[in-house]
Structure 1
Amino acid sequence: MTDLSPHASPSAVDGDFADLDEDSAADDSTVLEAVVPEADAGQRLDKVLAAQFSQYSRSRLQQWCEAGLVRMGAQVAGVRDKARAGETLRIAVPALPEDTAFAPEDLPLNVVFEDADLAVLNKPAGLVVHPAAGNWSGTLLNGLLARYPETAGLPRAGIVHRLDKDTSGLMVTARTLEAQTELVRRLQARTIHRQYLALAWGSVSRAFNVEAPIGRHPRDRLRMAVVHGGKPARTDFTPLAELDTRWGPLTALRCKLHSGRTHQIRVHLQFAKLEMVADSVYGGRLRPDLPLQRQALHAARLAFAHPLNDKPMDFIAPIPDDIASFWDACGGEMDEIDPQGW
């Protein structure tokens, strides 16, 4: 069993986009061209653009017109301009954030173990794992590509499983395709063991489990829910300690996953009529006076056999400072929730 302590490497910044002048595109832009057909003479320009550059949505083409990125002949063209037959249309397509989503970034990563095949990391709360809308850079994936350039040829840069942005704790990532394939197989076979610490409002006197299928929420596409026809999911919950606080009863729970569905612990806690502390998405109460402003969930223990040599590996991530401080402020003792005792 390995006890982990923080470790970080230098960080970096990302750059700006340059402007486009009349004759040439900036290095991060691409110029597309098309000639206005005779049949389209007199048509509104945005309609002609949509026909000639159908790979882009009409609304995006209109935005580029309004930004002065479209020319008809030598002149900047507007959305409502009339197309002139035989004129050359030029669009300076700017580099979009998603176009550089898989760029290496020298981010601080808390790497607690690494060898030629894999790495185990202790992810801080607030770090997004994979690029997506609203988070096209500064993700764990970007940091992995910088630290391990060989992962550029792997699906998701070697990421095997994810943690939510505001969940802290342990993750394993692969550095080779062989290791990634085997880790994914073992994750599906449930031989990678993951235990979490969760703090929930309410009183829990005995251990229980929730075995309920999880799928997309029928009305809110950003949330998951227990739904008929969802994917099978089971979570075991064991109470570690209970405190009486000025906000009400508070219970620390050890959560053991038997599957890996999106938001699984959070959804199963809500299904069990419990509120995870500061998880406003799934019913937790957010209060200005609460000394914790992110969901109280930490991936505290990770155990698996090495994918290439089957050597047993067992890691523990210390309780992060924000959760520890909150527990202490509520009158709790750290040894009550310390994953060393799990």
Structure 2
Amino acid sequence: MNTDSQKKRHTFIIPDIHADERLDQALARLMPEYSRTQIKDWLDSGSILINGLAAKGKTRIKGGETVTAEIPVITRPHWEAQPIPLNIVHEDDALILVNKPAGLVVHPGAGNQDRTLMNALLHHDPALQALPRAGILHRLDKDTSGLLIIAKTAAALKHLSLQLKKRSLLREYQAIVYGTMISGGSVDAPIDRHPLQRKRMAVIDTGKSAVTHYRIAEKFRAHTRLKIRLETGRTHQIRVHMAYIRHPIVGDAVYGGRIQLAKGLSEQLITALRQFKRQALHAFALGLTHPDTEEFMRWEIDLPEDMNHLIQVLREDLNRNAP
């Protein structure tokens, strides 16, 4: 991995169709590979000139102005492409949808410099090296399985990121939690880094807004299968919120603590719970407005084998004790 500082020069004429628009809005359309925040910063610093002069973002343009931009750029880290199998659910010119298995880390980082989803994507499509995070729009924890969306172009990444920001991107999960829940509901509790245990997140009054909606999919004797929809996407959000309402996710050693064994569970179920070594959480559905066609698309995938097995044992335990 290496990075180099350099400058990129842009020179172009603003088309007349943008007449009477704000300068920052027009530039956002004409420079889709950059965020509006970046463009504002460059206007403020004088890195973008209009007809050779500094200008404010709120300036109304007439059309025909010459834009000259000397933009400082940090070349993105060059990560190694590695031939790691990918379960691709959908791919087109704008995006890739991947079913990530439990145990696969999404981004390289401390302790995981390679063998990640990003390394696999760069092998699948080397052009992704030009995009931030190889176009990966959001993330799943290492031991959470399921659907992830990857943008293949700068325009698609910007379009999808805006959907994520506006909370119009649909992300649905299934989870198996401890305890028999009575009804569905929502958790609206802010999340931030734990003040003492920095690798953990926690519900904190001064944290960032976090909203999780859940409904009951199936009840067992001492467990519940939930369908969960994220409204926001904070780190570890579902795991933190479920633990916060005292229904931690089965297998979550970080937020769930020790295995909870209710009285009367079958030996088969006790064994299955002890052998389940990751959080029973799976991103099973994802919906979005396609960046190119503007059509709403939704995908849904099956639960992984380990969760299906656990559910089957939970059902057998329930039936064994049925009157």
- Scaled by the length of structure 2, the TM-score of the pair is 0.69
Q: What's the counterpart of residue 307 of structure 2? A: 323
- SS of equivalent to 2:235: coil
Superposed counterparts of 1:163-182, under 5 Å:
163-182=140-159
Deviation at 1:101, TM superposition (A): 7.3
- SS of equivalent to 2:208: coil
Q: What's the counterpart of residue 254 of structure 1? A: 227
- SS of equivalent to 1:331: helix
Deviation at 1:286, TM superposition (A): 4.2
Q: What's the counterpart of residue 37 of structure 1? A: none
- SS of equivalent to 1:275: coil
- SS of equivalent to 2:279: coil
1:259 corresponds to which letter in structure 2? T
Contact 1:291 1:326 in 2 (8 A): no
Deviation at 1:264, TM superposition (A): 0.4
Task: Give CA deviations for 1:248-305 in whole Å, capped at 9, x if unaligned.
Answer: x010011110001000000100111112101010024348832421100000110111
- Partner Cα distance (1:190, 1:236) in 2: 13
Q: What's the counterpart of residue 88 of structure 1? A: none
Query: Structure 1 327/199 Cα, relative in aligned 2: closer, same or farther at 3 Å?
Result: same
Q: What's the counterpart of residue 292 of structure 1? A: 276
Q: 1:272 aligns with which of 237, 242, 245?
A: 245
- Partner Cα distance (2:313, 2:250) in 1: 14
Greater CA radius of gyration, 1 or 2? 1
Superposed counterparts of 1:149-298, under 5 Å:
149-244=126-221, 249-286=222-259, 289=271, 290-298=274-282
Query: Structure 1 293/207 Cα, relative in aligned 2: closer, same or farther at 3 Å?
Result: same
Percent identical among aligned pairs is 43
Query: Which stretch shifts more, 255-264 or 324-333?
Result: 324-333
- Partner Cα distance (1:163, 1:320) in 2: 15
Contact 1:277 1:284 in 2 (8 A): no
Query: Structure 1 252/101 Cα, relative in aligned 2: closer, same or farther at 3 Å?
Result: farther
- Scaled by the length of structure 1, the TM-score of the pair is 0.65
- Partner Cα distance (1:132, 1:188) in 2: 24
- Partner Cα distance (1:308, 1:196) in 2: 26
Contact 2:100 2:146 in 1 (8 A): yes
Q: What's the counterpart of residue 93 of structure 1? A: none
Task: Give CA deviations for 1:146-188 in whole Å, capped at 9, x if unaligned.
Answer: 1111110000000100000000000110111110111111101
Contact 1:190 1:259 in 2 (8 A): yes
- Partner Cα distance (1:314, 1:232) in 2: 26
Q: What's the counterpart of residue 136 of structure 1? A: 113
Q: What's the counterpart of residue 101 of structure 2? A: 124
- SS of equivalent to 1:252: strand
Contact 1:303 1:314 in 2 (8 A): yes
Task: Give CA deviations for 1:223-242 in whole Å, capped at 9, x if unaligned.
Answer: 00111211101001111111
- Partner Cα distance (2:154, 2:179) in 1: 44
Task: Give CA deviations for 1:44-97 in whole Å, capped at 9, x if unaligned.
Answer: xxxxxxxxxxxxxxxxxxxxxxxxxxxxxxxxxxxxxxxxxxxxxxxxxxxxxx
Contact 2:78 2:129 in 1 (8 A): no
- Partner Cα distance (1:266, 1:226) in 2: 11
- Partner Cα distance (1:183, 1:284) in 2: 36
Superposed counterparts of 1:39-58, under 5 Å:
none
Task: Give CA deviations for 1:323-342 in whole Å, capped at 9, x if unaligned.
Answer: 00011112269xxxxxxxxx
Superposed counterparts of 1:62-77, under 5 Å:
none
Superposed counterparts of 1:5-20, under 5 Å:
none
- Partner Cα distance (2:316, 2:190) in 1: 34
Q: What's the counterpart of residue 301 of structure 1? A: 285
Cα RMSD over matched residues? 1.9
Query: Structure 1 285/239 Cα, relative in aligned 2: closer, same or farther at 3 Å?
Result: farther
- Partner Cα distance (2:291, 2:93) in 1: 12
1:112 corresponds to which letter in structure 2? V
2:180 corresponds to which letter in structure 1? S
